[in-house]
Amino acid sequence: MKNFNPNDVGVANGNLFGLPYTEEESNIIIIPVCSDITASFGKGTAKAPSLILEASLQVDLFDNYHDNAWENKIFMLPIYKKDRKKHQKIGKLASDLIGKLGNGLAFTSQDEEVLKSINTYCDEINKSVKETALNKLNEGKLVSVLGGDHNSPLGLIQALAEKHTNFGILQIDAHADLRIAFEGFEFSHASIAYNALKLKQISKLVQVGIRDICQEEIDYISNSKGKIKTFFDWDIKQQQFEGKTWATICDEIIAELPENIYITYDIDALDPKLCPNTGTPVPGGFEYDQVNYLINKITESKKKIIGFDLNEVGNNEWDANVGARILFKLCNFMQKSNS
């Protein structure tokens, strides 16, 4: 750190943002998950950790919300190309099954066996992420996940459930992700919220920006007895059209959250101009600074961010550029809320 100049050009030293910290000395550890196995529309988010690592060198290290942000000790664990290639191979099998469903074809007994093997493989990824996360949490680190598709953080959420008796999830997303084994995949990108809610330690799910949802998910929310609070994008927009401020809406969102918060950030929550190559883009959505404003207000409310993930960043330089900046902000917000 003594020789590090945050005003210099980012140096490709293998770490995010060119920061000079080792894994051992860092207090924020990022687990890359290079998988988009169950992606049902657009593939490519598996490459996001590598692309964001490269794009992060272009991020200037001043943060208007956080003094001396470059002093936050952030480290991303290694990306193993061998694992990514294996994930891609399994993803090809999943895409073949999804294609059959899209063409109205019934699964054969062989297809059912392939589906079972894919679910087992995805469960192994989740267990690996959970084990890694628990090891780092036990070392006193703050831990996050960089996906990949939106199933990527399930292992981290499960690990945090072993360390906290009660916490809420703030889901920033275009989709509710409350599907039950979507397309037969137990660990689908469209099922992360449903799977997370199986954990008794999660006392509340607050969803923000949802604008693409099925009737089954609407019914699930309605029958949750208040455990799920959804701020739909269309309601937010209507309120703003009629004069309600984003600051007031943010206060209402924060009031729904418990003291300890996990943030799951699907980049498709943003206007698609900011993430055109995300897995499932949807018209509408937030501006980049709107979400930053919300999360900063969370830190000012003295609630604690115990972990986060960023997912569904597309396989494209622009998407990675936006994703790298979101990641930097999320790290700084988490550090700020734990200081």
Range 174-200 average pLDDT: 93
The pLDDT score that the predictor gives to residue 268 is 97
Kindly write down the DSSP assignment for every residue of 212-267, as one continuous string. B--HHHHHHHHTTTTSEEEEEHHHHHHHHHTT--HHHHHHHHHHTS-SEEEEEEEG
pLDDT at residue 156 above 90? yes
Asked if residue 10 belongs to a domain, the reply is no
Asked if residue 173 belongs to a domain, the reply is yes
pLDDT tens digits along 296-333: 999 999 899 999 999 999 999 999 999 999 999 999 99
Asked if residue 186 belongs to a domain, the reply is yes
pLDDT tens digits along 195-248: 999 999 999 999 999 999 999 999 999 999 999 999 999 999 999 999 999 999
Asked if residue 4 belongs to a domain, the reply is no
Q: Are 299 and 316 in contact (CB under 8 A)?
A: no
pLDDT at residue 1 above 70? no
163, amino acid identity: K
Per the structure, the complete domain to which residue 63 belongs is given by 16-337
The pLDDT score that the predictor gives to residue 21 is 95
Number of folded domains that form the chain: 1
Give the confidence band of 92 by pLDDT, cuts at 50, 70, 90. Answer: confident
CA distances 238 to 231, 268, 283, 305, Å, are: 12, 20, 15, 29
Q: For residue 245, what is the domain's CATH number?
A: 3.40.800.10
CA distance 117 to 119: 5
Answer whether the bond into residue 148 is a cis peptide, omega within 30°: yes
Tokens 């190309």 locate to 81
Kindly write down the DSSP assignment for every residue of 67-125, as one continuous string. TTGGGS-EEEPPP-HHHHHHHHHHHHHHHHHHHHHHTTPPPPHHHHHHHHHHHHHHHHH
Q: Are 69 and 328 in contact (CB under 8 A)?
A: yes
Name the β-bridge partners of 310.
146, 265
CA distance 11 to 54: 10
CA distance 186 to 195: 8
pTM score over 0.85: yes
pLDDT at residue 192 above 90? yes
pLDDT at residue 41 above 80? no
| Structure tokens that stand for 141 in this block | 């680190």
Asked if residue 43 belongs to a domain, the reply is yes
Asked if residue 286 belongs to a domain, the reply is yes
Asked if residue 214 belongs to a domain, the reply is yes
Asked if residue 11 belongs to a domain, the reply is no
pLDDT at residue 85 above 70? yes
- Residue 142, H or E segment: strand 142-147
